[in-house]
Structure formats: structure tokens, C-alpha cells
Amino acid sequence: MPAQRIEALLTGAGVKFERVNERTWELTPGPTRSIEGTLVWITGSFRKTGDLLKIHSHVGSLPEDADVKFFQDIFRKNRDMGHGGFALIDNTACCYVDTLELEGCEQNDMDATLDWLTRAGDVFRQKLDRAKLPYIET
Amino acid sequence: MTSTQIENLLTNMGVKWDKIIKNMWSVVDPEGKIPKVIISIEPGGRTGGHIIKFVVFVCDVPVDTGIDFYKEFLKMNFKIEHGAFAMETRTEMCFIDNLEFETTDEVEFEASLRALMDAPRRFQERYDIDFYTIGNPQF
């Protein structure tokens, strides 16, 4: 069952989770990993090659005075990321989002996605550090 | 997957490709009907290894554009199911997708490359994104 497999991957990754509906899990800090996020199980994918796991986590709010250069920096960070990227949920809430293919997804894949999720939060917070504006190259 | 395998695959796919430098190739349609795709092998794999990065140029950033242009692409990053919009320079928007270098097989590689070549049509169909209305496409 895909749901059992998803939960086994999350348990193996050391996060706590709660299944909030048929296709959504909320992730909370667990014994070995302090993250918060949401996992959505998507069927009928873009590539039509199988189900997807979409993981996203809020990394911060856009500063009110975010200018064009701020956005350009965020997009340039996306270029350098190994997987996933920054996205906007609405006009102000910025998140990191990554997608895994459920078929063939192994524990190290899930672990690494959650590692990138943690790194993305750090990168975004550094970007908001006024002392380091205008550019942060991590 | 090896660099030689990538080059053999590109040849077998029948696409026109050029080696830019070691571990970096470009795929270009001589007729200009599909966007140029840059393929490179870079660090950043999930397990400390390398990734195969596909970059397809989407559009030039309009001169004097405001933050709404960028917000629109960031919102699309949340909606799309694979890859992400990104910028290599401050004047070009691109779309990227990554595969694990060590574990990717030939089928996955060809599927990813063809998906990126077909990206404009797919975005139009699935997400109602028309690059021609939000920037100046390179294709």
C-alpha cells in the first residue's frame, strides 16, 4: 500500500507525522530531525509515470520591501539547489518544495530531500539577514 | 550513467548536440522549434554524489519589469509537479530539473530530456501558462 510505504519512509527519516487526510501528512520535529512541513501524495502526475510525493515547508515570509534583486537572488538560489526550489504559496509565504517519485523512492532519497529542506530554510533566513544584504552566496 | 553514455544517448535520440566543455552539453533544434536545453553534471546529489542538471531557457526578463513578474513564477514553482523555475543570470528565466547521476538510467534520462523539450506545450496545456504573454521567449 502506498500510504504504508510513505509512512515507513517518514518513520525511517526520523520525523513525526500525522495523516490529516487521505493524501496529506503533516510533518513535525521527530527524534532525529527537527523539521516542519507537509507531504502530499499526488496521483496522475505531470509525466504520467507514477505517483508523486510533494514535500513543502514554510521557510519564511517575503519582506515587505522585497525588491526585484531580492527575487532574482531567490531564483538564482533555485539554480544552485540540487533538488527542489523556493516557491510562493500565496503573495507572501515562501516555501521550499521538492517532488519525489514514489516508485523507486528509497530511504536515502527521502532523507536527502529532508536535508535539502533544512538547508533551504537556512539559506532563506540568511537571505533575510539585513547584515548580509544584498547578496548571500552560500 | 556515464558521460559517454550521455553522449551516446543524445546521438541515438537523433537530436543535434554539442559538447560545450567537459560534462556540459547543449541540445539545439536547428529549426528553432524546440528550446535549447543545457545538460550538465554537477555536485549536489542526494547522497553526496552528482546530479544531471537540465536547464531550458524560458524567456528573457522584460526590461523594467516589477516584482509581480517574479512572484508569478514563484507561485508556479509551487503548482508544478517537477522541476523549478530559476535564473542563471539576472536577465533570463529558465526551468530546471535534476536527476541523480549515479542512479539514473537511460530511460529516465531520455524521458527527462524530452519532457523539457516539450515543456512550453505542457505548461500551456496543464497550467495555462503562456510564456509569450509574460516575457520574450527564446523559442
Which pLDDT belongs to residue A121? 85
Best mutation site among B61, B65, B87 for testing chain A: the one with the most A CBs within 10 Å?
A: B87
Q: Check if the beta carbon of residue B116 is closer than 8 Å to that of residue A105.
A: no
pLDDT at B127 over 70: no
pLDDT at A74 over 50: yes
CA A41 – CA A22 distance, rounded (Å):
9
Which pLDDT belongs to residue B50? 87
What is the rounded average pLDDT for all residues in chain B?
81
Q: Which three cell numbers stand for residue A91?
A: 503573495
Q: Which of B43, B67, B94 sits opposite A66 (nearest CB)?
A: B67
In this structure, which amino acid lies at residue B11? T
Residue A52, H or E segment: strand A52-61
Find, in chain B, the residue whose alpha carbon is nearest to that of A74: B86
**Beta B50-60 vs B92-100: how paired, if at all?**
antiparallel
Find, in chain A, the residue whose alpha carbon is nearest to that of B53: A82
Of A115, A107, A106, the closest CA to residue A81 belongs to A115
Q: Which of B78, B82, B87 sits opposite A72 (nearest CB)?
A: B87
CA A27 – CA A12 distance, rounded (Å):
13
Which pLDDT belongs to residue B120? 67
Q: Check if the beta carbon of residue A74 is closer than 8 Å to that of residue A25.
A: no
Q: Check if the beta carbon of residue A128 is closer than 8 Å to that of residue A60.
A: yes
Average pLDDT over residues B46-68: 83
Which pLDDT belongs to residue A136? 39
pLDDT in tens, A88-117: 999 899 999 998 888 878 887 788 788 888
Which pLDDT belongs to residue A19? 95
Other beta carbons within 10 Å of B88 = 16
Of B50, B62, B63, B58, the closest CA to residue B22 belongs to B50
